[in-house]
Structure formats: C-alpha cells, structure tokens
Amino acid sequence: MTTQRTLSRMSWALAAAGLLGATAAQAGEIEVLHWWTSGGEAKAATALKLTLQKKGHRWKDFAVAGGGGDSAMTVLKSRVVSGNPPSAAQIKGPSIQEWAREGVLANMDDVAKANKWDELLPKAIADGLKYKGNYVAAPVNVHRVNWLWTNPEAFKKAGAKVPTTWDEFFTAAEALKKAGIVAVAHGGQNWQDFTTFEAVALGVGGTDFYKKALVQLDQNALKSATMDQVLTTFKKIKDYTDKNAPGRDWNLATAMVINGQAGMQIMGDWAKGEFLAAGKVPGKDFGCVAAPGTAKAYTYNVDSFAMFQLKDQANIAAQKDLAAEIMSTQFQEVFNLNKGSIPVRLNMPMDKFDDCAKASSKDFVDSSKSGGLVPSIAHGMAVSSAAEGAIKDAVSNYWNSDKMTVAEAKDKIAAAARTK
C-alpha cells in the first residue's frame, strides 16, 4: 500500500516535472531594448510586457533612458558587437536597413505571412520593414511629429489665440510672455532642437521644400533663400523659451504645459501620452493643433522593433510571438491609447481614441493622398543615421550659438548633409 502510494506520488511528480518541462521549453525569454521611460511611454511599454507575459514568456526589460533614443542606440551597438544582441530593439526607418546589412537581423517572413502583414500595412511602411524583400522588423504605431500642444487656461489668461501660422505663433508667444507665462516649453537637447527645426522647415518651406532639403538632402534646397527664412524663424523661437531650457527632458517640458507654467510645446504626440497619464482631457485641459503652417502636412514617425538573430530555440519562439502580438488588434489598440500615437495596422476601429488621435488618423490618410505625408528627419525616418546625426548637431550648434550667422549655419548644415 505504502509502496503503491509512493509510486503513484512519484509518477505524479514525474508527470508534473514533464509538464513543467514542456512549458519551460516553450516559454522563452524576451529582452527588448527601448527608451520608453516617461509616464505615457512606460505605460505603453508595460502593455507590451503584459502581452508577452500572458503568452507565458519571461520579459527582460532593457530600457535605456533618453528621449529620441541616442543613448539606447549606443548601448545597442556595444551589445551586438559583443555577440549578445537582445531579442528585439526599437529601430526605425533607414536604420533598419543599416542593421540588416550587418547581417544580424532575423527573418520574420513566416510570422508576417501567417498574419497577413502585407495586407494590413500601408505598402510604404511595409517596404521599410523589409530587407531584400524579407520582413526583419515589426511596427507598433504611427506618431505624428508636427504638433503644437497648448494650455487653454494660459492662452485665456494671456488673451492669446491658438496660432495656425508662424506670424500668429509669435503674436501668441509675445502675449504669453507679457502675461508672465513661459511661451514655449522647450528642452534644450539636440534632438528636441531638431524636432522644432523640422516643424519650422515644413511650416515655412512647405512639403516640397521639406522633401528636397530634408529627405533628398538636395544641396540647392539646403542653400536656398527659403532656408534663410527657416533658420531665422527657428532661432526666433528661442527668445520665447526659458533660461532653464538647456538639457531639460522633453517630458518635463510637457509637464510645464500640463501645469500651466508654459503655454505651448512643439513636440510629437508621445507628448499626448504625458497629458493623458496626468489625467488631462484633450480639448478641455489641453489642445492639439498642427504646428504652424503644417495643417495639410504630416511628419510621420513609425516606431518598430527590429528582430535580432538568436540561438536559443525557446527564445526564437518567444521572439516570433512578440512579432505576431505586436501586430494584433488588441495590442495595437492598448499600446497606442497609452503612447499617444495611432495604430499602424490599417482599418482599426478608432472609437476608443480621443480627438487628437482621430485627427491624426484622418490627416495621415489625407496627406498620403495629397503628397503632404513626409518622414521625420529628427526621428530617424528620412535619411541615414550618419547624415541625420551630423545635421542634428549642426542645427543644435546654431540654436545654441550667440554668434553663428544664418549664412554660416546654412553652410554647416549643407556640409553635414553630405555625411555618408
């Protein structure tokens, strides 16, 4: 009897061990590099973590703080060079091709085929996720970059009108300043300077100029008289920022608009994630309008995860689950509701989204038909990472210098655009 009981207990234990073994073999570890550490960003990243944990996988967070992701990219390079890549990393635009050329990315075609990515994504976006015709990255969203965020209370106090042109922008800025409010919340980091610059280039120069100068890097456009106007307008904005702007993180600049210390911020719609995380309501507590002069245009920024080649079979299976889940309707909804962006997957219901997201969704479609849809250079969507970095530095040096003339800045930017 006792022996029998012991035996049956043993077989239970063995069976349980077998079962556990089976689960462990399927459950993999997923290490994902990203830079989503602010309020709204972190909530969106948590949605990704929970999605993968529900599938039984172990989530290993690899967050490297720093808006715009420059620090994250530096850390990623050292990990890949040492032969120890994460499962996935937030890599966007032309950089996907740069990484794929190094031969370190994994082919995700089986996942893409099974889940019909070719039918669910706008073709231009799908093409950017493929290397030599094979998917190597999965997209999570579409961010619009050319937004102006406003605090309605501050505008009321200043008797100012929400601007739609750059002239109106400076009129409003002057009124806010007179009312003792910081007119423009800015974080003086090179990528934030560059984000402001591209909005001005689009608003002052228009989409054709933007495409020639900042996508094709056409030297004539970069040296044109339009560029003089862009640089003059850009620098004038600095007069309306506060003395603590240098080095400030973007989310702290957004917090100034949230609490009424500042009137406006030029920033992509990850800023909306901050307003929402603070419990603020669009149209009531804050306003979202296209950056001055850019109502008919749309600067897009698609966050995506490039998948690295792995050796461990369970981790490979987990990585494929990650790719599949990222494109699911449930994930696209919950992630983007938190992140401030819109789903990249086509034909998603937008009823749970707010008016800023609905406007973004409509403008995305309209601008893609009218030719107003342009890639964001400041967020890695338009040119090689080398050219982007060089132009970003030149733009930021001009913003920070009291001596550099428009002509000098123009020469430096045009020279930087030649960087290979």
The whole-angstrom separation of Cα 119 and Cα 351 is: 22
Report CA-CA distances (Å) from 15 to 20, 28, 91, 96: 8, 21, 43, 45
Site for ligand GAL in 105-124 (CB under 6 A): none
Using the minimum distance from each CB to ligand GAL, give the nearer residue, 315 or 332. 332
389 part of the interface to ligand GAL, by CB under 6 A: no
Are 187 and 194 in contact by the 8 Å Cβ rule? The answer is: no
Minimum CB distance to ligand GAL, residue 16 (Å): 43
Distance of closest approach, residue 38 Cβ to ligand GAL, in angstroms = 7
Residue 303 within binding range of ligand GAL, rule CB under 6 A: yes
Helix (H, G, I), strand (E, B) or coil at 29: strand
- Examine residue 379 and tell whether it contacts ligand GAL (CB under 6 A): yes
Please identify, using beta-carbon distances, which residue of 41 and 321 lies nearer to ligand GAL.
41
Give the number of residues in contact with ligand GAL, rule: CB under 6 A. 12
Q: Of the ranges 2-10, 35-43, 314-322, 411-419, which one interacts with ligand GAL (CB under 6 A)?
A: 35-43
CB of 189 to ligand GAL, least distance (A): 10
Residue 41 near ligand GAL by CB under 6 A: yes
Number of Cβ within 10 Å of residue 77's Cβ equals 11
Question: 203 near 293, Cβ under 8 Å?
Answer: yes
Our finding on whether 209 is near ligand GAL (CB under 6 A) is: no
Burial classification of residue 17, based on how many CB atoms lie within 10 Å of its CB (0-12 exposed, 13-18 middle, 19 or more buried): exposed
Could you give phi then psi for residue 288, rounded to 5 degrees?
-125, 120
Query: Measured at CB, which residue is nearest to ligand GAL?
Result: 67
Dist CA 65 CA 69 (whole Å): 8
189 is a site residue for ligand GAL (CB under 6 A): no
Residue closer to ligand GAL by CB (options 69, 292) is 69
Cα distance between residue 121 and residue 380, in whole Å: 20
Identify the residue among 146, 294, 301, 304 touching ligand GAL (CB under 6 A).
301
- Rounded distance, CA 88 to CA 86, Å? 5
Q: Does 320 bind ligand GAL (CB under 6 A)?
A: no
Q: Which of 135, 194, 270, 308 binds ligand GAL (CB under 6 A)?
A: 270
Cα R_g (the chain), whole angstroms: 24
By DSSP bridging, strand 298-301 and strand 373-375 are: parallel
Task: Please report whether residue 325 would count as binding ligand GAL according to CB under 6 A.
Answer: no
x/- letters, 48..67, toward ligand GAL (CB under 6 A): -------------------x
Residue numbers of the site for ligand GAL (CB under 6 A)? 35-36, 41, 67-69, 143, 250, 270, 301, 303, 379
